[in-house]
Homo-oligomer: A and B are copies of this chain.
Amino acid sequence: MMKFFTSRIFPFQNSALIFLLVPVIFSGCKSTQKQPGGSSAKHISVQEDFMYQYSIIDALMAGVFDGDLNMSQLKKKGNFGIGTFNKVDGELLMDQGRVYKISYDGSVKEVPDSDSTSAAFVKFFKADTIIHLKGNLTYEAVQEQLAKILNPNGIYALRIAGNFTTMTTRAARPAKPPYTSLPDHLKVNQAVFNLTNTKGICDGFLLPPYLARTNVPGFHLHYLADDRKAGGHIFSFTTSSVTVEVDIAKGFTIENNTNNEFRNVNLKPDRGAELRKIE
C-alpha cells in the first residue's frame, strides 16, 4: 500500500506518492559562492547553472575510450555528476566535489586529480526543489513519478538519497586497445552487483529527447553507498522512501574531445537503439 499526500504548492496533475515538495535554499552542495554582479571566484559565472559534458555518448558508444580531460579540469566544470574514466575503467561518480571510481572488482576509491575521462557529465549542484517519495518503490516507479512532475523538455540534475532494499548496478572492466564498441565491450566485460539493504546516493541526470546522440535521454544515474564500499551504474533498485534533490539547469555545454580517435570516429549513425540496450 502506497502512502500519498497532495501538495498545495504546485499544481501537479498527479500528486500520488509526493510527500513533500518545496523550493529550498540549499547551499550544502555548492562549492562556489556567488559574488555581487553574478561573477564568481572561479570565473564560472556564465556556466554555473549549466550542465557541462566532456565528449558525447555516441563517441563512447563507438569506442572512443580515451579522452584528454583530467579530474582537476573536470572539477572546474562541476562538483556533481557521472561518467567513466579512460579505457572505460569503472564508473565515475562526483559528489560534493569529490570524484569516486567504482571498479569492476566492486571496490570504490576516490581518484587522483591526474586521472582522465573519456566521457563525463557534471554540474555545480544546487537543489531548486526537494521531492520526497514514499511507498513500495522501484527505480521505474521513481522515474514515472518524477516524469509526471518535471518538464519533459527540461534538463535536470538529480541527487536521490535513500535506504535501498535492493540495488543492482554494474561496472565496466577497463578495455585494451584496439577498442571495440561500448556494447561489444560490455557484453563480456561488465560486472553486475546485487546489493541488499544499502544506504547511499544516486547521482545523475534526467535529459530531454533532443539530447539523444550527445547524451542519454531520460534517466541516467550512478550509485554510491554511504560507506563507500559499493556503487556503480544503476540498473534497478527497490526502496520504501527516497529524497530527491532536483537541480534545474538553464542549459547545456558540450566540450569536444580533441584526440585523433574522436576526430576519426564515424558519428553519423544514430546509436539510440544500441544505447537503450546497455542502459
Chain A residues with a Cβ under 8 A of chain B:
38-39, 43-47, 50, 56, 58-59, 151-155, 208-214, 250-256, 258, 262-263, 265, 267-268
Contacts and interface: CB of A to CB of B under 8 A. Distances in A.
Nearest to A153: B267
Contacts of A268: 152, 209
Nearest to A266: B152
A214 B56 CA distance: 14
A152 B267 contact: yes
B251 A155 contact: no
Nearest to A40: B43
A54 to B, nearest CB: 9
A253 B50 contact: yes
A253 B256 contact: no
A253 B262 CA distance: 19
30 contacts: A38-B43, A43-B45, A43-B46, A44-B46, A46-B46, A46-B47, A47-B47, A50-B253, A50-B255, A56-B210, A58-B210, A152-B268, A153-B256, A153-B262, A208-B267, A209-B213, A209-B267, A209-B268, A210-B213, A211-B213, A211-B214, A212-B213, A213-B213, A214-B214, A250-B258, A251-B253, A251-B254, A251-B256, A252-B253, A253-B254
Nearest to A50: B253
Contacts of A262: 153
A210 B47 CA distance: 22
A152 B214 CA distance: 15
Contacts of A251: 253-256
Contacts of A155: 256
A46 B44 CA distance: 6
Nearest to A212: B213
A211 B210 CA distance: 9
A127 to B, nearest CB: 19
A69 to B, nearest CB: 11
Given A43-B39, A43-B43, A209-B268, A154 B252 contact: no
Contacts of A213: 209-213
